[in-house]
Amino acid sequence: MKVNPTPTVFLQLRSRIRLPRDQTVKLGDVAFLICDPEWEESLRSLPLVHPKERDGNRLLMDLIQIIPKIRQLIPGVQIEPMGNHHALVELIGPEAKPSKIWFILIWLLLFFGSALTIMNFHADVNMLEVHIRIVEMVTGQRDEHPYLFQIAYSLGIGFGMTVFFNHLFKKKWNEEPTPLEVEMYLYQENLDQFVVAEEYRKRKSLEIQNPVQNKNPKGKL
């Protein structure tokens, strides 16, 4: 089969991936590839870096590191990068067994913390007097302890929170993301941007301190 003398590789880096700590990071792990079939398997299995202990729990891989390795494998290749110019690799170790004691303690902390927050809010706005007034307006009689209305109100708060967060245990009412999932996504995006900016700042500082040092940074975080 005749091989194209100047093959073209279209390369798009993933924004963020998770890999085991003891696994060598390969090009197929961090990028989507479109290339000639005869080079596809070799490119996907191309090793980029093997994480070390001093690398911490994150690695930053960018095109400056990846393009020279592709050209070592395929001399004269034409690389067409698309999308992200860097990929953040999160290194994960063996998962620890969840602790039931910690689960119970955290659950109790969140439960009583939420309950106190709601009660303090109700005390600040004098919610009891509001309930008494509403019952008086509806029934025409003043009840200093409108327990039936308060029970219905409490159940309504729980039901309303369930509908608002679109989540009950592992059950979701529809495919839309919950507000909590959106906030966690935005938090993760901001965190990744900070980590990437901090890594580039560290590289720039190293280049200024050691201008003659190897120009191919390690991607250590």
Residue 112: per-residue pLDDT: 92
pLDDT, tens digit (0-9, with 9 covering 90-100), for 140-162: 888 888 888 888 888 888 888 77
Is the pLDDT higher at 129 or at 53? 129
| Token pair in block for residue 64 | 């400056």
Q: Tell me the pTM.
A: 0.60
What is the average per-residue pLDDT within 8-23? 87
Q: Percentage of residues in the chain with pLDDT exceeding 90?
A: 4
Maximum pairwise Cα distance, the chain: 94
Tell me: pLDDT of 3 over 60: no
Q: Percentage of residues in the chain with pLDDT exceeding 70?
A: 87
Tell me: pLDDT of 97 over 50: yes
Q: Which residues pair with 79 in a beta bridge?
A: 9
Residue 1: per-residue pLDDT: 42
Say which amino acid occupies 13. L
Look at the domain 8-92 and name its fold.
eubacterium ventriosum atcc fold (2.60.480)
Tell me: pLDDT of 215 over 80: no
Across the chain, mean pLDDT equals 81
Instruction: Place 173 in a pLDDT band, splitting at 50, 70 and 90.
Output: low
Every domain of the chain and the residues it spans: 8-92, 100-164
Instruction: Place 218 in a pLDDT band, splitting at 50, 70 and 90.
Output: very low
